[in-house]
Amino acid sequence: MFDSLSQKLNKVFRDLRGFGRLSETNIKDALREIKLALLEADVNYKVVKDFIDSIKDKAIGKDVLDSITPGQQVVKIVYDEMVVLMGGDKPFVPETKKNNNRIMLVGLQGSGKTTTTAKMAEYYRKKGYNPYLVPLDIRRPAAVEQLVFLGKQLNIPVHPVGQEKNVVKIAQKAMEAAWKTENSLIIFDTAGRLHIDQELMDELLELKKIIQPQAIYLVADSMTGQDAVNSVVSFNEKLSLTGVVLTKLDGDARGGAALSIRATTGTPIVFIGVGEKIQDFELFHGDRMASRILGMGDVISLVERAQNQFDEQQMVDFEQKIKKNEINLVDFLNQLKQFRKLGPLEKILEMIPGMNNLKGLNLDEKQILYIEAIILSMTIKERLKPEIIDASRKKRIAKGSGTSVQEVNQLLNKFFMMKKMMKDIMKQKNKFTKMGGKLWR
C-alpha cells in the first residue's frame, strides 16, 4: 500500500535526520522532494501546493530550526498536515439507527461495488445489524448472480429479482420484504456504467427519491488516481454523497486518490477495501493512513484485526509466554497459522513501526507444510530452545525433513523475526485496553 510514495518520503526524512542542524535551504530542498513525490503519486496539483505551503510556514519557524531534533520536528509537521489532508484524526462514522437503515452504493463499472456490498453487509452484521442485500445492477451480465453467490457464502439474504427489469419496482418490493422480515439494514447495489452519463444519473436520482437512503456511498477504485477524484466530484454534484468507499487500496502503490479526495471534493473517505477477502474492509482513519505512508506503522489497526480473528483464550495464554520470553518453534507454527488469517505476512509487517521495509515474507500453504516438516524433524529440546541449533544440528534437521540447510536457516530467521514482531504488538496492548480482564480492548 502506497509503497512508491512511502519509499520516496522516507528517503527525504532519512536525509533530514542526517543533519545536526537544519537551515532554510535544507528544508526547502526537502519540501521540493516531497512535492515531487506527491505529484508522482498522482495527488492533485492544487492539493500538493497547499500542502507544501502549509508545511513550509511551520517548518521554517524558529522553534524548528533551533530544535535539538529539527529533522524529527519536520517529520511531525508533515504527519500532522497529512492527517488534516485526509480528514483528521477521527474517522467519519456514519449514523445508523436500530432499524430501517438504507444504504445506496453507487459508482462506475469495475470499481468493486458488488463485492463492497457484501463486505459492508458483513461489517455491519458483526456490529449487530441484520443486513438484506438488493441487486439493482440488472444490466451487467452476472451482476445479480455474483451478489447472490456472495450472499450465500455469508448466509446473508439477497432479494430475488426474478424477471423484473424495473429497478424502482425491485427497490420498492425489496424494502417491503426486508421490513416484513425485520432486517435492520438494507444495502442497494446499484448499476454502474463505463462512464458517467445522464441515463445513469436519472436512474440513481429516481432510486434515491424512492429509497430515501440514510447514506449514499460512492465506491471508487483507488488505483485510478485522479479519475477516482473526478468521479467523486461528478456523483456528488448530482446525489450529494455521504462519503466514499475506496477499494483496492492494498494494490495502490501511489496513493493519489486517498490523499486528494477529501481536500478536493470535501467528501470524506468512510470505508476502505484492503484486500480480496470479505473481512478486508474497515473504517478509514486519516491518522493511521498517514502513519503507514510515512513508515511509522499502524499497530492499532493490526490489533483490531487480530481481535476479530484470534481465539481470545489462546491469545491470553500466548501473551503470557511472550511476557516471559518463552516462545518456541511449536508456538511459532501454531501462531503462524493464526497470523495468516490476518493476510500476507509482508503486509502485517508494514503495520509495525520499524519493520515496514522487510520484504519477501509472504507464506503460502506449501511453505507452511515445509516449515511443519522442519519443526517436526527437530528434537523436543530444539523446538523449545531454537537458539541451540548449530550447523551440525541444521544438517540433521534438513536431512530428516527432506529440505536444505538453507531452508532451515530461513525458517529460523523467520521465527526470530516473528518473535520480535509479536513482542512489539504486545508492547502496544496497554494502549488499547479498556478493562483489565479483556485482552485487546
The answer to whether residues 191 and 203 touch, using CB atoms and an 8 Å cutoff, is yes
Binned at pLDDT 50, 70 and 90, residue 159 comes out as very high
- The matching CATH number, chosen from 3.30.720.110, 3.40.47.10, 3.90.550.10, 3.40.50.300, for 101-290 is 3.40.50.300
CA-CA-CA-CA torsion sign (25, 31, 32, 33) = positive
pLDDT of residue 171 exceeding 60: yes
Binned at pLDDT 50, 70 and 90, residue 440 comes out as very low
For 3, the 3-state DSSP assignment is helix
- From residue 75, alpha-carbon distances to 1, 68, 370 in Å are 20, 14, 42
Which residue ranges does the chain devote to CATH 1.10.260.30? Answer: 301-432
Of 268, 208, 271, the C-alpha closest to 238 is: 208
Q: Where are the beta strands (DSSP E) in 235-288?
A: 243-247, 269-273, 281-283
Q: Which amino acid is at 101?
A: N
Please name every residue paired with 283 in a beta bridge, in sequence order, or none if there are none. Answer: 271
State the cell numbers at 305.
484485526
The answer to whether residues 181 and 157 touch, using CB atoms and an 8 Å cutoff, is yes
Give 174's contacts (C-beta < 8 A, 6+ positions apart): 132, 134, 159, 186, 188
Of 292, 271, 262, the C-alpha closest to 219 is: 271
Please name every residue paired with 246 in a beta bridge, in sequence order, or none if there are none. Answer: 220, 272
Tell me the pLDDT of the chain averaged across its residues: 82
pTM: 0.71
Of 288, 264, 257, 265, the C-alpha closest to 90 is: 288
The answer to whether residues 268 and 87 touch, using CB atoms and an 8 Å cutoff, is yes
Which residue ranges does the chain devote to CATH 3.40.50.300? Answer: 101-290
Q: CA-CA distance, 412 to 405, in Å (whole number)?
A: 11
Q: Which amino acid is at 359?
A: K
Second-level CATH architecture of 3-85: Up-down Bundle (1.20)
The answer to whether residues 107 and 241 touch, using CB atoms and an 8 Å cutoff, is no
Please tell me the total number of residues recorded for the chain in this structure. 441
State the cell numbers at 189.
447495489
Question: What pLDDT, in 10s, does the model give residues 48-102?
Answer: 999 999 998 888 876 666 666 777 788 888 888 999 998 887 888 777 777 889 9
Average pLDDT over residues 166-192: 91
Q: Of 68-77, 284-293, 397-406, which one has max mean pLDDT? A: 397-406
Sheet of 215-221: strands edge to edge?
131-135, 185-189, 101-106, 215-221, 243-247, 269-273, 281-283
The answer to whether residues 220 and 196 touch, using CB atoms and an 8 Å cutoff, is no
Of 89, 175, 173, 189, the C-alpha closest to 139 is: 189
119-246-297 Cα angle (round to 5): 95
pLDDT of residue 441 exceeding 50: no
CATH H-level, domain 301-432: superfamily = Signal recognition particle, SRP54 subunit, M-domain (1.10.260.30)
Of 124, 136, 219, 228, the C-alpha closest to 175 is: 136
